[in-house]
Structure 1
Amino acid sequence: MASKQSTVASFVEAAPPGELSNVVADIKALAPNEVQSLEPAFKKYNEEQYTTVKVPGSSGAVLISAYNALADGRYYDSASQTSFEVDHASQKASNPQSHPLDSPNADLIHSLHKSFSTTASEHFPSSTIGIYPSDSTIALLLVANKYSPQNFWNGRWRSTYLFSPASNTLTGTIKVDVHYYEDGNVRMSASKKVEVAVGSGAEGVVRAIGKAENAFQEELNKAFGALAEGSFKGLRRQLPVTRQRVEWEKVGGYRLGKDIGGR
């Protein structure tokens, strides 16, 4: 049987996009003694979800991942060549320091930053990218968040690609996570693996990424259309003859013929 600590940690690690603070508030109310032991869970969540932070002195957001983690617990940004500390519980960055990019592919990484940033801004209303040397490959990461709590939904798009300059191959995964919670609790999680040969140079890499992501978006659109006209339509409760929603909490007091039938 899982321990109480591991159970509570699993709630943090599985928090829907944009709702970590709500999950933590529930934990504080239900298991306050476990909050102090959640640092590893916060770290895992931030790295896996590509949480973005604002580094003091930086003009834009920087994402957190295992790809830009340093041995001393700090993280770095290859674009600004800065390292920084992170408080994983509060998702705040601090103590920036110079961190020059040390990689034989430094010029290619800078070119990828420029091309990938341009493409991301064209396809996402708001997004953050990160590009980092990773062994013999280059990791290209993207996260795009869309939060609409007033409409009871939040969503996140994450892309992870590994480009090999030696073989001009690109492999990776695209993930989409959406949570809808008005009068219910529906969560959609979808992913797609990518493996393609690409043209040389930054433009060839980014062009292949754009093509893969557009194809995945089209697949999602077709799937949503099929669900709306099929499974979801079959599950949807039909309106009564009054064409108004039934107030189910008051159903015990309805007079069937008059209040529901309208007669």
Structure 2
Amino acid sequence: MSRTAALSSFVESTPPGELSDVTKAIKSILGDDNVSSELSPAFEKYNEEQFTTVKLPGGSNEVLVSEHNRLGDGRYYDVESQSSFEFDHATQKASGVQSYVLESDNADLVKSTIKSLSTHAAEHYPKSSIGVFPVSDETALAILTVANKYSPSNYWNGRWRSSYIYTPSSGSITGTIKVDVHYYEDGNVRLLTNKDVDLKVGQNANASEIVRAIAGAEKKYQEDLNKAFGSLSEGAFKSLRRQLPITRQKMDWDKISGYRVGADIGGGRTR
């Protein structure tokens, strides 16, 4: 594997909200502050796949970057703000904002879907950005949501991504839900999930019907995740622990949620 390929793999596997940290680490290890140009394709791939969000100069809301709203030459567009912008994939900064009006046979459906999807996202995600874009051949819509929650002071970051392709002629919605959570206090634990979605709505469905179907799929997946974590807590996580902790006393699993980590479990000792 070449140096560029190896470094690119580090970039492409970067956890949510940590690209600048990974880039700094690469520069420090190599002693090369000019490595960003070598990794430019990897940065672009990462930002588009992760639906990286950016606040436009003079704007209040964050817009997302993806392959579906790419214009070429490093520029992207946002339907809601009716603007296009230049995006620096290495620094994740936007500049060169210009007016951009969407011209599409599906423009009305795009705008109404944005409105319905915005309501859904605001109700279910604490901080999110959405995008609805016609695909290149005008036969379908790409419907994207990304929700980020970063807490580096508590050593964790997380991201929800959902992407769907709606085809009016067949009434089909196909896509994927992805969840990526990284916890790195005194260790390195990462959750990566990937759920394929295949839905049917009526041909030429309206925006409310499209988003209602998507909302139902996302709600079910969140419920499934909650059940899975409950099973892990009651089963697999217990089997991973040694029978006796450092206190030499058995763990009272019925009271585990009430323990103060580091104090009660560690017998009152602090580091």
By the TM > 0.5 criterion, same fold? yes
Per-residue deviation, residues 117-156 of structure 1 (Å, max 9, x unmatched): 0010000011000110002100010000111122221110
Specify the alignment match of 1:173 in structure 2: 176
Q: Is the 8 A contact 1:13 1:44 kept in 2?
A: yes
3-state SS in 2 of match to 1:85: strand
Alpha carbons of 1:78 and 1:244: their partners in 2 closer, same or farther (altered >3 Å)?
closer
3-state SS, counterpart of residue 183 of structure 1: coil
CA offset digits 1:170-198 (Å, max 9, x no partner) = 11100000111111111110111111112
Please, what TM-score do these two structures have when normalized by structure 2?
0.87
SS at match of 1:209: helix
Report the secondary structure of 2:91's partner residue: coil
The whole-number CA distance in structure 1 between the counterparts of 2:58 and 2:265 is 54
Partner residue in 2 for 1:253: none
2:235 counterpart of 1:234: no
Separation in 2, partners of 1:124, 1:143: 9
Q: Secondary structure at the match of 1:25?
A: helix
Is contact 2:36-2:90 (8 Å) kept? no
- Corresponding residue for 1:163? 166
Please say if residues 173 and 191 of structure 1, whose CA atoms lie closer than 8 Å, have aligned partners that are also in contact: yes
Is 2:101 the partner of 1:94?
no
Secondary structure (helix, strand or coil) at the match of 1:70 reads strand
Q: Whole-Å Cα distance in 2 between the matches of residues 121 and 245 of structure 1?
A: 40
Match of 2:30 in 1: 31
Residue 3, structure 1, aligned to residue 8, structure 2: no
Q: CA deviation at 1:4?
A: 1.5
Provide the aligned C-alpha RMSD in A: 1.7
- 1:219 partner SS: helix
Letter of the structure 2 residue corresponding to residue 228 of structure 1: S
* Bigger proportion of residues as helix: 1
- Quote how far apart the aligned CAs of 1:112 are: 0.5
User: Aligned-pair distance for 1:244?
Assistant: 4.9
Which whole-Å CA distance do the structure 1 matches of 2:124 and 2:194 have between them?
A: 18
- Give 1:209's match in structure 2, choosing from 197, 203, 214: 214
What aligned pairs does 1:44-193 form with structure 2 within 5 A after superposition?
44-134=45-135, 135=137, 136-193=139-196
Match of 1:194 in 2: 197
Task: Give distance in 2, aligned partners of 1:74 and 1:13.
Answer: 21
Deviations 1:39-84 (A, max 9, x none): 1111111101000011123331110000000133310001122111
Question: What amino acid does structure 2 have at the position aligned with 1:30?
Answer: I
- Partner of 1:245 in structure 2? 266
Task: Give 1:25 deviation, angstroms.
Answer: 1.5
Which amino acid in structure 2 is aligned with residue 224 of structure 1?
F
Match of 1:261 in 2: none
Structure 2 residue aligned with 1:258: none
Aligned length: 246
Q: How far apart are 1:116 and its partner, in Å?
A: 0.3
Partner Cα distance (2:213, 2:59) in 1: 30
Distance in 2 between residues matched to 1:87 and 1:116, nearest whole Å: 27
1:196 alignment partner AA: L
Deviates more, 1:191-200 or 1:47-56: 191-200
- Checking the alignment, whether the CA contact within 8 Å between 2:16 and 2:182 is kept in structure 1 is yes
Name which of structure 1's ranges 121-130 and 231-240 shifts more when overlaid on structure 2.
Answer: 231-240
Amino acid at match of 2:174: T
User: Percent identity among equivalent residues?
Assistant: 57
1:8 counterpart SS class: helix
Question: Which residue in the other structure is 1:255 paired with?
Answer: none
Cα distance between partner residues in 2 of 1:25 and 1:178: 21
Query: Does the CA-based 8 Å contact 1:27-1:35 persist in structure 2?
Result: no
CA distance in 1, matches of 2:141, 2:36: 36
Secondary structure of the residue aligned to 2:72 is coil
Please identify the structure whose Cα radius of gyration is greater.
1
